[in-house]
Amino acid sequence: MNWNKLLCNRNELQLRGTLNGGQSFRWTHNKDKDEWTGIFSKTVWKLKQSEDFLQYQIIGSLKNPPESIKSKTRKDANEPNFEVMLKKYFRLELPLTKYYEEWSEKDALFKTACKQFYGIRMLAQEPVENLFSFICSQNNHISRISSMVEKLCTFYGEEICEYEGVKYYSFPDVNKLSGSQVEQKLRDLGFGYRAKFIQKSAAQIVEWGGEEWFDTLHNMKYKDARQELMKLCGIGPKVADCICLMSLNHLEALPVDTHVYQIAAHNYLPHLRGKKNVTDKMYAEIGDHFRQLYGDMAGWAHTVLFCADLKKFQTDTSDMENSKPKKKRKK
C-alpha cells in the first residue's frame, strides 16, 4: 500500500507529543517502523512523518473503501477527502510556529519547554468519543483508559476492518450507549461507577437532541458551554474543560487536575503551594491566570507545558532530541 503525502514540516506537527500526550486513547506506536496506527472519523489510519511531510495510509473506513484514496481517476463528489479530514483533525490550518513564538514572548518557562516539545497540536476530536473517553479517564491511568475505550468500541461500535489479525471498531454513536441495559453490561466489563455516568450521560444527550446538541455548545461562549456540559451525569469541571478544549473549539478552556495545579503552584502562583486539594476557587484562579497570560488559546499553550512536565516524556528525552527538526541553512 502506497503512502500518501501531506506537506507539513515537523516543526508544525510532532506526532509523538501530540498522539501520546493524553488527548486521545486510540493511537498505538510501532517503534520499529516509527509508525502510528489509530482511529478517528470511523476510519483506521496509519501515520508517519519525515522532515517536511506527514505520510498517511487508510487501512479501512466506514466512510469509503480505502481503494478510493489510491485512485487518481475517480471524481466522486460523495467520496470523502481523507486529506481534508487529516488536516482538520490536527488543526493544520493554524500556524503553530507563529503561536509558539507569541507564547514564548509571554512566558520564559514556555520558551524553554517548546525547544524540545515543538509541534504539539491540540486535536480536533469528535465530541461523543471525547466525552465518553474522558468519563473513563476519571481516577484512572492511560493503559486502563485505553482498554475501556476499546471495550466501548468493540461492544457498541461498528467493525471497520481487520488488519494484520486485529479487528478495528468505530467509536459508538451516542444512542448505542443510552440503553437501559448498558450500565450493567459496562459494570460486568469492569467500568465500575463510570458505567452509570456513561449510560446516564448518553441518555441525557439523546433526550436533548442527540449529537446535534454538541453543535449548540460549539456555538456558545466557552463558560456557557462548560456549564451545560456539567449538567451531564458524572461530568465535573475538569472533564467539561477537556471536552470544551479538545472537541468544541473553545481553546481557552484549561482542565486543571493535580498535575496542572503543581505546575501552576511551583512556577506561577507560589501562594497556592502546599494545598491538599484543588478547590473551586483555586481551579478558577489557575485557569484565569493562564488565560490572562496566553490569551484565547491558553488551553493549547498550557498543553505544551503539561507534556513537557510528564514523566513519561522526561524519561525518554534522548528520543526527542534525536528527532528534533533540523534547522535549514540560509542560502
Residues labelled catalytic = 238
SS (H, E, C) 76-118: CCCCCCHHHHHHHHCCCCCCHHHHHHHHHHHCHHHHHHHHHCC
Element (H, E) at 46: strand 43-49
Question: What Å distances lie between residue 237 and 232, 300, 330, CA to CA?
Answer: 11, 17, 48
Q: Are 114 and 81 in contact (CB under 8 A)?
A: no
Rg (CA), the chain: 20
Can you read off the three cell numbers belonging to residue 72?
487518481
Distance CA 274, CA 66 (A): 54
Residue 4 sits at φ, ψ, to 5 deg, of: -95, 145
Angle formed at CA 44 by CA 250 and CA 199, multiple of 5 degrees: 60
Angle formed at CA 40 by CA 295 and CA 294, multiple of 5 degrees: 5
Closest to 97 measured CA to CA, from 20, 24, 36, 8: 8
Residue 27 DSSP one-character state? E
